[in-house]
Amino acid sequence: MTGSSEPFSEHGNWVKGMVGVTVSVTVDGEAMRLGAHGSVAGALLEAGIRRLRASPRDGAPRGAFCFMGACQECAIFIDGRLVQACLVAPREGMSIALAGVP
């Protein structure tokens, strides 16, 4: 289905030139590439990393939930600071640590 009535276009001009670009990062010391656009949380999801931390009492697996900065589930260590991964964009050389997130 093509044309202006299509709700979301895979080939919309706003992703031209961005999707496909990746940056090199480390996740818990391991080198990998993440899509350069959007948020770190979205990029990790795309790379198959869904589990970001463990819940405080039960140790249950948790991952990004609201993608708008409200739930705090995606707070992980990015370049040494506890930051919400849904609010920052991936950057070349970024070091991401999931281990040790309280």
Partner 1 sequence: MSAPYDLCVVGGGIHGCTVALFAARGGMRVALVERGSLCREASGVNAGTLTMQMTRVALIPYAMRAHAMWASASDWLGHDVGVVVCDGLSLAFTEQEAALLTERAGKRREAGAPIELVDGTAARRVEPGLGPGVMLAGHCRVDGYANAYLTGLAYRRALLAAGVDILEQTPASGVRRLSAGFEVVMAATTLGCRRIVLAGGVWIEPMLAWLDIALPIKVLVNQLAVTERLRPVMRTVIGIASGLLSLKQYAHGTTVIGGGWQARGDRERGGAELMPDRLIGNIRLACHAIPALRDARLARAWAGLEAETADALPAVGPVPGIADAYVCGSVHSGYTSGPYLARLLAERILGRQPELPLFPIDRLLKPAESTA
Partner 2 sequence: MNEPRKHDLIVIGAGPAGAHAAMAAAGCGLDVLLLDEQPAAGGQIWRRPSSSRVDNQPVRTQPDLAHGDALRIALAASSVTCAFGHRVWSVSDRYRVDTLGPDGAAAFGARQLVVAAGAHERIIPFGGWTLPGVMGLAAATILLKAEARLPGQKVVVAGRGPLLAAVAAGVIAKGGEVVAIVDRTPQREWLASVPALASQPGQLKQGAAWMLAIALRRVPILFGHRIQEALGTDSVSRVVAEPIGGGARRLLDCDALVVGDGLVPGGDIARLLRIAMRHDRRRGGWVPVVSDLFESDRAGLYCVGDGAGVRGAAMATISGEIAGLAVVARLGRAFDAQRMSGLKQRWRKGQRFSDAVAEVMAPRPADVADLRHDTVICRCEDVRLGEIDGALAAGAVDINQLKHFTRCGMGPCQGRMCGAIIEELLAARLEKTREAVGQWTGRPPLRPVSLGDLVGEFSYGDIPVPEPAPL
Binding site for partner 1 (CB under 8 A): 56, 75, 81-82, 100, 102
Residue 64 binding result from partner 2, partner 1, none, given CB thresholds of 5 to 8 Å by partner type: partner 2
Distance between CA 17 and CA 33 in Å, rounded? 17
Which of 100, 96, 101 has the alpha carbon at shortest distance from 31? 96
Residue 33 binding result from partner 2, partner 1, none, given CB thresholds of 5 to 8 Å by partner type: none
Q: Which is nearer to partner 1, 15 or 82 (CB)?
A: 82
Tokens of 25: 């990062």
Q: Which is nearer to partner 1, 3 or 102 (CB)?
A: 102
Residue 23 binding result from partner 1, partner 2, none, given CB thresholds of 5 to 8 Å by partner type: none
Q: In 10 A of CB 85, how many CB atoms?
A: 25
Tokens of 87: 């609010």
